[in-house]
């Protein structure tokens, strides 16, 4: 089976950060694009923002597990996505942080709802 090319945009910044965005509801194709770009920029972490009207969170997580298993990431749904083109709705945005320029650490924030 031949995979079609995902219609997406990619923007690289001087810091090495790479932003990928698409408005296509194909989590597998976007996860493959993330994996390819992550390899190019040696990404150590990805931040994902997405429209729940476009893609299901569980499907996106499963696709990332399949196509980018070693890439650490965090994500959330939004009411609008800030893309390199400005504020848009109905998109998936991935910000890839290259290991050479960024360090990440996960921390448990306790009692968040009580503050």
29-40 residue pLDDT tens: 999 999 999 999
Terminal CA-to-CA distance of the chain, rounded, Å?
52
Sign for the pseudo-dihedral over CA of 62, 30, 71, 47: negative
Where do the domains of the chain lie, and which CATH numbers do they carry? 8-100 (3.30.1330)
Quote the DSSP letter at residue 89: S
Whether 49 and 96 have beta carbons less than 8 Å apart is answered as no
Q: Is the pLDDT of residue 5 over 70?
A: no
Residue 4 confidence (pLDDT)? 53
DSSP state of 111: T
* Overall average pLDDT of the 18-25 stretch: 89
Residue pair 75/47 in contact by the 8 Å Cβ criterion: yes
Helix (H) or strand (E) holding 72: strand 72-77
Has this prediction a pTM greater than 0.75?
Answer: yes
**Is residue 1 scored above 70 in pLDDT?**
no
pLDDT of residue 47: 95
Q: Are 44 and 11 in contact (CB under 8 A)?
A: no
């Amino acid at each position: 089976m031949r995979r079609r090319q995902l219609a997406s945009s990619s923007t690289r910044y001087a810091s090495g950060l790479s932003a990928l965005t698409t408005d296509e509801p194909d989590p597998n194709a976007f996860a493959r694009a993330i994996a390819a770009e992550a390899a190019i920029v040696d990404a150590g972490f990805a931040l994902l923002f997405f429209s729940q009207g476009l893609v299901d969170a569980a499907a996106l997580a499963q696709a990332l597990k399949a196509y980018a298993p070693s890439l650490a990431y965090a994500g959330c749904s939004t009411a609008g996505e800030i893309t390199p083109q400005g504020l848009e709705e109905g998109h998936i945005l991935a910000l890839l942080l290259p290991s050479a320029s960024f360090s990440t650490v996960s921390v448990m924030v306790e009692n968040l709802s009580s503050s």
